[in-house]
Amino acid sequence: MKEKIKQLKNDFFNEIEKISDLTALEKIEIKYLGRKAGELTKILRQLRDLPVTERQEIGVLANQLKKELAQKIREVFQLLKNQASQSAVFDVTVPGLKPTEGHKHLVTQAIEEIVEIFERIGFSRRRYPEVEWEWYAFESLNMPPNHPARDEWETFFIDLKPVGPKGQRILTPHTSSGQVREMEKGQLPIRMINISKCYRRQIDISHVPMFHQFEGLLIDQQVTIADLKGTLDYFVKQFFGSNRRARIRPSHFQFTEPSFEVDVSCGLCDGQGCKMCKAGWLELGGAGMIHPNVLKAGKVDPKKYSGFAFGWGVERCYLMKAGLSIPDIRMLYQNDLRFLNQF
């Protein structure tokens, strides 16, 4: 029996040295290790007929050989495969590998859409600094130093000395800081859409310390509330859908007079009130007619010119459009592809 095993081993290694393709390898595997009639399988099967004294010794030898053969077969298999792939010709008919395609972040998508909507009615995109002087964010907007209304903007201050009337450097808490900057260019009429990152000291399920606003500003002769209302209606229909309407309610901002809160009718119940919206209307954000003091700060003559402005959150608008109530707005900025891929 021992002899037989030795012989088997020799035969196997002789044969396997000679082969050069995978089919031959498969044949050898079947010949020696095949489950039904493999040479080594047969020996293993005969073990139980041997006397106990021999059984153990032969068993160990046979099982060792089995491992050895299987190992060799694996090695030769790898070798042949590598050779095959190295010598393979380039097959132009094999379908190519397609890299997975990404897409723009939903906030970028929303910004692009908003800009396009306003460009169609003559507004141009502007960007103003994220690191801003207090003066543009507050004083020029009719909020003198220490005015209590400033508290509403939960501002981040930069730890640098104030510079004269410009005040301290801050992270801009709203895009309204671009109003007087735009007026200072001295080109009238104005139709700008200023979109930028804004910062406030707030973080919870409905606030992130960094978010985006888009600010419309129109200044011309004889601009009225009707123009503001028409523009809001236009935007709401373009962005949310032709069945939606805008509504304005009295509100208060230091830099607009009169001031409004703008709502959009709920897409599900059309203003009737339902589970999704409660009162039939969803709040977009602030708007109003430019306060004469703000025009003056931008060196625009309030006797000749008037205008309107509105400033809303990009994230908020986009989520309202998608009819989404995501449980936590911070999800937008956690870069989890399982979430982002849905948009």
How far apart, in Å, do the first and last CA atoms of the chain sit?
71
Shortest distance (Å) from residue 209 CB to ligand PHE: 14
Distance CA 212, CA 82 (A): 54
Complex with ligand PHE: residue 253 or 305, whichever CB lies closer: 253
Q: β-strands 210-220, 190-199: how paired? A: antiparallel
Complex with ligand PHE: residue 59 or 209, whichever CB lies closer: 209
Whose tokens are 């903007």? That residue is 153
Shortest distance (Å) from residue 93 CB to ligand PHE: 59
Complex with ligand PHE: residue 239 or 253, whichever CB lies closer: 253
Shortest distance (Å) from residue 311 CB to ligand PHE: 3
E strand segments, the chain: 124-126, 131-133, 156-157, 169-171, 190-199, 210-220, 246-253, 256-265, 281-290, 306-313
Complex with ligand PHE: residue 38 or 288, whichever CB lies closer: 288
Which residues belong to the annotated binding site for Mg(2+)?
Answer: 257
String of DSSP letters for 319-338: HHHTT---S-GGGGGS--HH
In one-letter notation, the amino acid at residue 163 is V
| Those residues with Cβ within 8 angstroms of residue 272's Cβ, 6 or more apart along the chain or in another chain | 266, 280
What's the DSSP call for residue 301? -
Complex with ligand PHE: residue 138 or 281, whichever CB lies closer: 138
Report the 10 Å Cβ neighbour count for 334: 9
Q: Using CB under 6 A as the criterion, which residues of the chain lie in contact with ligand PHE when the complex forms?
A: 174, 176, 215, 253, 256, 285-288, 309-311
Report the 10 Å Cβ neighbour count for 327: 9
Report the 10 Å Cβ neighbour count for 276: 13
Tokens encoding 151: 């508290």
Which residues belong to the annotated binding site?
Answer: 257
Shortest distance (Å) from residue 312 CB to ligand PHE: 7
Shortest distance (Å) from residue 309 CB to ligand PHE: 4
Complex with ligand PHE: residue 8 or 295, whichever CB lies closer: 295
Shortest distance (Å) from residue 331 CB to ligand PHE: 23
